[in-house]
Amino acid sequence: MNTKLGWAKAANGFRFRPFSDLRVRATSKPPQAYRITTLKKIIDGAYLVPMGNANAVLLDAGPDLVLIDAGFPGKTDTVLAAVGKLGRKPNDLKHLVFTHGHPDHIGSAAALVRATSARTYMHVADVPLAESGGPFRTMTPGRGWLPSLLFRLVWKPDERMEPFRIDQHIADGETLPLAGGLRAVHLPGHCAGQVGFLWQGQRLLIAGDVFMNNLGLGDPVGFEDEGEGRRSQRKLAALAPQAVCFGHGSAITKDTAARLERAAARR
């Protein structure tokens, strides 16, 4: 993390989650060199940007770059390094789209908007979270030891993020004319305004936190409404994408539809 940036944000009342930075602290490489190496290709034109305990997705399919989600606070340099790795400049990042409004997905958004002047997009149900910076809605932990552990470690609903304005509200079924077309699918439960995005037809589903894939497909850290969350898991599986990526954990590019079906059926 950039030390000066971290102190400036702390002075303004914005806190950081140490858990999200464990991977960066564990490396002996300079932060910039480490961040550049973490850009991972999912399919042609789509890249996973791991940022500690959360992911963003960078789409490079046209003159404008599109970033899906923005990670925890303090991750602006990581995103800009990923943009540079593609041979692009910060002002090529024109669109910042959110799967939902939780702190690990919007924490660096305000700083990224300042750095790039990107236009912002979010489902209407979560817009108040982004524009107020919190507090966030309560959740109950997902099933299993890993969601329960992470819930205790990272979920702080009273924590505040730096607020930012949402330029465009996203509706279920809408196709955003970005990177060749992003079709929004409303997938509430983990978060009321959570949406997934289908890109290039069924080639890639950017799924937010419907599942996480840290040690195999499992529940997210928690649910605002578990019943809705289960319906969204089944709805996601029925989309049958060729590849899928999540806000936490690895992308899946093989046997994707069958793995999603099995995970949804277990719940």
What distances in angstroms separate CA 83 from CA 34, 61, 78, 87, 208, one per listed residue?
14, 13, 9, 7, 21
pTM of the model: 0.86
pLDDT by 10s per residue, the chain, length 267: 333 333 334 433 444 343 334 333 333 343 443 344 479 999 999 999 999 889 999 999 999 999 999 999 999 999 999 999 999 999 999 999 999 999 999 999 999 999 999 999 999 999 999 999 999 999 999 999 999 999 988 898 898 999 999 999 999 999 999 999 999 999 999 999 999 999 999 999 999 999 999 999 999 999 999 999 999 999 999 999 999 999 999 999 999 999 999 999 987
pLDDT for 32 equals: 43
Neighbours of 253 (CB within 10 A): 15
CA–CA separation, 241 and 180 (whole Å) = 17
Neighbours of 228 (CB within 10 A): 17
Q: Classify strands 140-141 and 168-170 as parallel, antiparallel or unpaired.
A: unpaired
The answer to whether the Cα torsion of 101, 104, 110, 116 is positive or negative is negative
Which superfamily does CATH assign the domain made up of 3-265 to? Ribonuclease Z/Hydroxyacylglutathione hydrolase-like (3.60.15.10)
